Chain A
Amino acid sequence: MLWATREGCHVDRTGCIWLIKRFIDPEGTFSFFADPGEAPEEAELFDVAGARLSHHGEDCSFETFLKEYSLKDPVLEEIAEIIHDADLMDEKYGRPESEGLDVIIRGMQLVLPDDYALTRAADSIFDGLYAYLSREVP
């Protein structure tokens, strides 16, 4: 399946792409656009205003993905809290990791050439976060 989102990914979109690859559609391919009007016709849009898989109410897109795909993994729920706090900067869950994750992904954005390179690199970060939290979460 083809997934499309806005270019210039930050925590929420890099997190969603990792989630899609690992838990929803391992064969999925991704496309990034500057304007929603340029999105490929057949693509499933996410983290785009008005899309099904996007911000809703207080939720960031990663949280919406968990709900829409009924992913009830407590580790993913913790990652969702961290992404939420980093993305919306509202300290809803008071996750200290969010501050570091925000800075790291922003910095990677500055040095990596495009969203493909960025999301590939971010995959390792989320893999590591998942592995670490798996040991911590009851």
Chain B
Amino acid sequence: MNRQRWLILIYRLPREPSGPRVAVWRKLKALGALYLQDGVVALPGEAVTREQLEWLQVQIREAQGEATLWKAQPNTAGENTALVATFQSSREEAYRALIAQAERIQRKVALGGSNALPEELSKLEREFRLERRRDYFRSPLRKEAAAALKAARRAVRQTDSTDGISVRSSG
């Protein structure tokens, strides 16, 4: 099997001010990067991740830090598999939370619902899209999360149509 190419960012930022440190950390988190250890992060090598890490490198240097960016390959297939698995499981946690929240919305609908539900659900749907974007290895739970959100959306739409003018659901 062809081994995955990775990008490794090694960086150090001054302890103070904390602003740039937090900004970099937040950005890496949003990208779904994995901290191998303090100041060392891994992401799968793709056009998008590469570009984002290059800008982070610039940002870190502008904040008087040091950053080097590497293309890398784990030494063994086993290490590679372990890394992929870690990436997948970090997304799975997020998917599991989304599924639980979607089911909670469905239960609330069953109990009569509330006006806040559509907005709550839209927030979850957005979170799902962000999660999916950084789910580089297609965690198995992605499908399940998508289905849970669809079911919640159907439920919320149905209460919408029953408490106003009656609209026949087209399913």
Contact = CB atoms under 8 A, between A and B. Distances in A.
Nearest to A50: B58
A89 B129 CA distance: 12
Nearest to A13: B51
B136 to A, nearest CB: 15
Contact of A49 (B26, B48, B58): B58
Contacts of B54: 49
Say what secondary structure dominates the interface of chain A: loop
B129 A10 contact: no
A55 B129 contact: no
B47 A55 contact: no
B25 interface: no
Given A89-B30, A99-B129, A10 B62 contact: no
A138 interface: no
A89 B134 CA distance: 12
Given A89-B30, A90-B27, A49 B57 contact: yes
Interface string B40-84: 000000011001101101110010000000000000000000000
A8 B47 contact: yes
A57 interface: yes
A57 B62 contact: yes
A55 B58 contact: yes
Contacts of A8: 47, 51
Given A90-B27, A90-B30, A99-B129, A10 B51 contact: yes
Interface of B: 26-27, 30-31, 47-48, 51-52, 54-55, 57-59, 62, 126, 129
Interface of A: 8, 10, 49-50, 54-57, 88-90, 99
Given A89-B30, A89-B52, 8 more contacts: A49-B57, A54-B58, A55-B58, A57-B62, A88-B55, A90-B26, A90-B27, A99-B129
